[in-house]
Amino acid sequence: MFRYVALIALALAGTAWAKPAPDAANVLLKPTADQTQAALLATRFLTRFHYKAEPLDAAMSAQIFDRYFDALDIDRLFFTQADIDRFKPQRDKLGDAIYAQDLSVPYAIFNLYEQRVGERTAYARQQLKQGFDFSKDESYRYEREKAPWAQSEAEVNDIWRKRVKNDWLRLSLAGKKDADIRQTLDKRYANYLDRMRQLNSEDVFQTFMNAYAMAIEPHTNYLGPRASENFDIAMKLSLEGIGAVLQRDDDYTAIREIVPGGPASLSGKFKVGDRIVGVGQGESGSLTDVIGWRLDDVVDQIRGAKNTTVRLEVLPVDAGPDGKHQLIALVRKKVSIEEQAAKSSVIEVKNGDVTHRIGVISLPTFYEDFEARRRGDKDYKSATHDVEKLLGELKKQNVDGVLVDLRNNGGGSLSEAIDLTGLFIGKGPVVQVRNANGRIEEGRNTQTSMAWDGPLEVLVNRNSASASEIFAAAIQDYGRGLIVGEPTYGKGTVQNLVDLDQMAQNEKPTFGELKMTIQQFFRVNGGSTQLRGVTPDIAFPITSDFAQNGEQAFDNSLPWTSITAASYLPTSDLKTIVPMLEARHEARTASEKDWQAYEADIADARKLRKETTISLNEQVRRQERDEQERKRLERHPEVAAAGASSAGNPSPETKENAPVAEPGTKSAASGNIKRAETGSDAAGSAVRSVKQGGIASASGDDAHQDDGLQADERSLKADLAQEQARKNEKDVVLTEGSRILGDEIDLIHSDTKLAAQVLPHSALKNSVD
């Protein structure tokens, strides 16, 4: 979602050692009356109006029980089998508890979880004083999702011993000294518990309700009030606030990015890296110290109604911990979040003596301001409106073809998928939807003319899902453009938001929302993207673990099926041209060094992903690291040149930091498509924020370098530098996709008969010499 949601990093500042873990006798969390009522109301909708409505009986209760434990402890690092057995008598009675408005069991489970986190992290910190023998031949199983629960305290302690040993070895291989390693890891493990103790009743309730929602079907979620607000922001790409992207930086909330045109930017008083230490409401409200707060709690204090004042106490980026604070007052305004909006660029592709200008439209999500559209605002924010403007600009730049980049676009608004497709096909059906009663309706575009009728390509990958698949499938079925890349995700369902507060007539947001599957969608040709996705016309290597990334990775996905095709008239026929383009692609990439390096990197990464254990022998790890580094420098000589100035900073691609799966993967605690319809990974988000700090992953988060640190342990400066480095990396997939579109343009210009097949009639006059 947004960085202030995803980067909840609660490290500690200003001390050489981590502060002691809080006293174990902390306050136990309990459900509120509002939460028990919200659970009951949500159940009524889920059992009656879901596309796959199922009773909340003993069987469903057992699924909720298992999924809730998985959401809390997917890698079997905290609970033992005895803990599971302790609550087993309630395994098939959770449904009865919801109906009785008694949520004491899920909260008791969570409270035990928090206790176990305290015990495990205390053990981990104690291990740091023992030292390790890295000459022993033993291994650590870091992929534990399918592992059985530990049978004893001794067994779970041994898991943690190996985990700590692996953490130490990673830092050692990165060149850190023993004293620094001990300090870093002690602080890390202390912070695990600190994060846990900042979770609240709403976090627990949301995690439990998502265990229920997702036991029905993978894309059904419960969104608490805060998650609902973030969903709304994600869809309309705007909020009311100061216009700053925030990130945790030790105990502080730091400014990571200043949004152009927002109040913070216009004031001229802020710099990236400034730390917010206090927040006051209005022109004279008292200042609240926010050092050490959860990031989303600080965000709640800073956001507010438009034209209201917020005062920020700021420790400047260039000041030390005892530096002089500044007090800055800002008037909140509507701020546009352009990072997730459609963008355009032009790539020039040379084919022999001819240069083609390819207009690239990058679309991260199918966004739409639902409320503004309901109000009848003609200029409401939407993906279609923005793309239509960009197409007009690209025409003025005399582009020869348009490439729509939907890689990692997890979906969004169904109506936007329909309207945006219409920009390229004109009037006609785009998708068919079937509800739980079997009624089928067509989603039709009513725009008669195409905004772009020239050569078209859609670039997709495994993380292109939902609305992206509707768009790509329609373009393919109409023969309107090439689909290039990887097979898509395979999500073929439609979700709707149910405002539980509106149903209960609550004056304030209290109950949250359900994102509930209500329909299944089908292509205009009658097929479905469910499970199968969209198969590209020209396939690129699959970058992720296919078996674990996609709809088929879930055990309760809807099955594939088909219906009768809609009545539609294809605009073009690409069957003749595809083999020609594929032959050119294969011939070119067979000798293209960057592409060959890309394929080799993917092959290595996929091989590493299949492994579940890693050696804890230092000599073995160094040999593995050196071999991987040798391959990397051989494939990417530009890295060797750049690395000459940073010798001594190892940058291996080791097993434990193989490239992580991108948005769209099966998430342990949520399983939903990240950056998809919700715009936020609602299920168990707070619990996962703990895991993202390092508990649930043995892997580093950079595809090329392993510095042994967790994301929240790096300085803001280092984090921004890494982000910029990623942006500067060659995009060989986009480059090759553009070349393929250039090949199509070549063929069109050289063969009038072929052009008549490939292009819509309206484009022929301008496309054939």
654: pLDDT strictly greater than 50: no
Helix runs in 541-617, H state only: 577-589, 593-609
Identify which has the larger pLDDT, 630 or 765.
630
Residues 396, 402, 404, 405, CA torsion sign: negative
Give the model's pLDDT for residue 640: 62
- Reported as a pLDDT band with limits 50, 70 and 90, residue 723 is confident
What are the pLDDT digits (tens) for 341-364?
999 999 999 988 899 999 999 999
HSE-up of residue 31 (Cα within 13 Å, Cβ side): 25
Least confident of 58-72, 661-675, 726-740: 661-675
Least confident of 195-199, 319-323, 426-430, 521-525: 319-323
| Mean pLDDT computed over 690-714 | 55
In the three-class reduction of DSSP (H, G, I as helix; E, B as strand; rest coil), residue 625 is classed as helix
| Mean pLDDT computed over 70-76 | 97
| Mean pLDDT computed over 666-676 | 27
- Reported as a pLDDT band with limits 50, 70 and 90, residue 711 is confident
| Mean pLDDT computed over 125-143 | 95
655: pLDDT strictly greater than 80: no
Assess contact for 400 and 356: CB atoms under 8 A. Answer: yes
**CA triple 175-181-187, angle to 5 deg:** 140
Across the chain, what does the average pLDDT equal? 87
Least confident of 128-132, 643-647, 754-758: 643-647
What are the pLDDT digits (tens) for 486-521?
999 999 999 999 999 999 999 999 999 999 999 999
| Mean pLDDT computed over 227-252 | 93
Assess contact for 296 and 260: CB atoms under 8 A. Answer: no
Which residues are registered as beta bridge partners of 359?
346, 402
Give the model's pLDDT for residue 353: 87
687: pLDDT strictly greater than 50: no
8: pLDDT strictly greater than 50: no
Q: What share of the chain is helix, strand, coil (3-state, %, to 5)?
A: 45, 15, 40
- Reported as a pLDDT band with limits 50, 70 and 90, residue 453 is very high
Least confident of 112-121, 198-207, 678-687, 756-765: 678-687
1: pLDDT strictly greater than 50: no
Q: Which residues are catalytic?
A: 466, 477, 491
- Reported as a pLDDT band with limits 50, 70 and 90, residue 641 is low
- Reported as a pLDDT band with limits 50, 70 and 90, residue 398 is very high
